[in-house]
Amino acid sequence: MPERLVYWNGDFIPERSARVSVFDWALMYGDMLFEMTRTFKKKPFHLRKHLERLYDSLRYAEIDCGLSIDEMEAATFETIRKNEDRLEGLDFQIMHDVTRGSMPHYDTIVTEGQAPIVCIHVIPLVRHLGLMWERFRDGAHFVVPRQQSVPSRFLDPKAKNRSRLYYRVAELQAEHMDSGAMAVLTDEQGFLTEGTGNNFFIAKDGVIYTPKPHNILRGVSRYVCIEIARRLKVEVREADIEPYDVRQADEAWFTSTPYSMVPITRFDFYPVGDGKRGPLFQRLLDAWSEEVGISIDAQFKEYSELAKLWTP
Ligand SMILES: Cc1ncc(COP(=O)(O)O)c(C=O)c1O
């Protein structure tokens, strides 16, 4: 299989050569915005919504990436087209990364200039789904680590940025608490905010609750899940959720672009509800599958098998 090609400021380069300079703001400050979109049946799912969020993030960080949103969309389709025969006929992720470019201090070294770097790459979803497969099948364990969310008045998490050390620290703490556990962070009052790459939901007595959209990244999958629930006439409330509330919940799950929805069957070492994938979770996931025209359950299983062959 030939190497996939990465869009790099208008050129296409082999993915192994796609490297950001150590003199870039991205490495110096984590000064970089990004998006991840996925495909279903090889068609980008809500690409425009992801690009709108990318441009909101860029506006927040005052980066002019040099492309209009329409040009970014066209570059995305061009990247997909260039890679058509390199994606093994599989569904894939589409990453948009924008760095601020090289720091002025190093203009004698980085002589190609200090313009932002716009990078788009596509990779089959095999490893992502493979690494999440057991949690998707049996449910994830979520714990609340000491590391809290950065309040939006300090650094707004609504801008999808690569200054992510606090998410990583939360993941490491969760791993120390229970091997394989995932972190859900809290705000200064102790209300749940979000996971390190996902949005959090619980259900109780047929009503769905999800954290208010303040100190979180407003996930596109969160939006899709809420829309599906409302279409199915299930009430959804954006609410302050405390760890205590999860102990009383019937079900919990998270949403995130590569996986759509994953059940959470243990929370802080206790089972959620009866400790199994819940019926409301399954109803929403089935409706999601219907909307995108594939069985998300079946694809997860299939790609997790493929992932074993992909392991280096
Ligand atoms: C911190 C954080 N919250 C939530 C999400 C979920 O967002 P989406 O559904 O748009 O993938 C992500 C996705 O990467 C994330 O990084």
Q: How far is the CA of 144 from the centre of ligand 1 (A)?
A: 18
Report all structural domains of the chain as residue ranges with CATH numbers, in order of start. Answer: 5-124 (3.30.470.10), 130-306 (3.20.10.10)
E-state strands within the chain:
5-8, 11-14, 32-40, 43-44, 92-99, 117-124, 140-143, 182-186, 192-195, 199-204, 207-211, 236-239, 251-256, 260-267, 270-271
Q: How far is the CA of 160 from the centre of ligand 1 (A)?
A: 8
Work out which ligand 1 atom sits closest to the CA atom of 50: 10
Cα–Cα distance measured from residue 69 to residue 296, given in angstroms and rounded to the nearest whole number? 29
The band of 1, judged by pLDDT with boundaries at 50, 70 and 90, is: confident
**What pLDDT, on a 0 to 100 scale, did the predictor assign at position 2?**
83
Q: Count of H helices and E strands in the chain?
A: 9, 15
How much of the chain, in percent, has pLDDT values that exceed 70?
A: 99
Cα–Cα distance measured from residue 45 to residue 205, given in angstroms and rounded to the nearest whole number? 31
Mean pLDDT of 161-176: 97
Work out which ligand 1 atom sits closest to the CA atom of 216: 3
Write the pLDDT tens digit of every residue in 86-140.
Answer: 999 999 999 999 999 999 999 899 888 899 999 999 999 999 999 999 999 999 9
Question: Which residue has its alpha carbon closest to ligand 1 atom 8?
Answer: 219
Work out which ligand 1 atom sits closest to the CA atom of 222: 9
Question: Which residue has its alpha carbon closest to ligand 1 atom 14?
Answer: 197
Mean pLDDT of 290-305: 98
Cα–Cα distance measured from residue 134 to residue 304, given in angstroms and rounded to the nearest whole number? 9
Nearest alpha-carbon partner for 288 in 223, 199, 197: 223
**What pLDDT, on a 0 to 100 scale, did the predictor assign at position 111?**
83
Mean pLDDT of 79-91: 96
Mean pLDDT of 62-66: 98
Residue 141 has pLDDT above 90, yes or no: yes
**What pLDDT, on a 0 to 100 scale, did the predictor assign at position 16?**
95
**What pLDDT, on a 0 to 100 scale, did the predictor assign at position 112?**
81
The band of 312, judged by pLDDT with boundaries at 50, 70 and 90, is: low
Q: Are 292 and 41 in contact (CB under 8 A)?
A: yes
Cα–Cα distance measured from residue 97 to residue 19, given in angstroms and rounded to the nearest whole number? 12
Q: What is the pTM of this model?
A: 0.97
Mean pLDDT of 217-243: 98
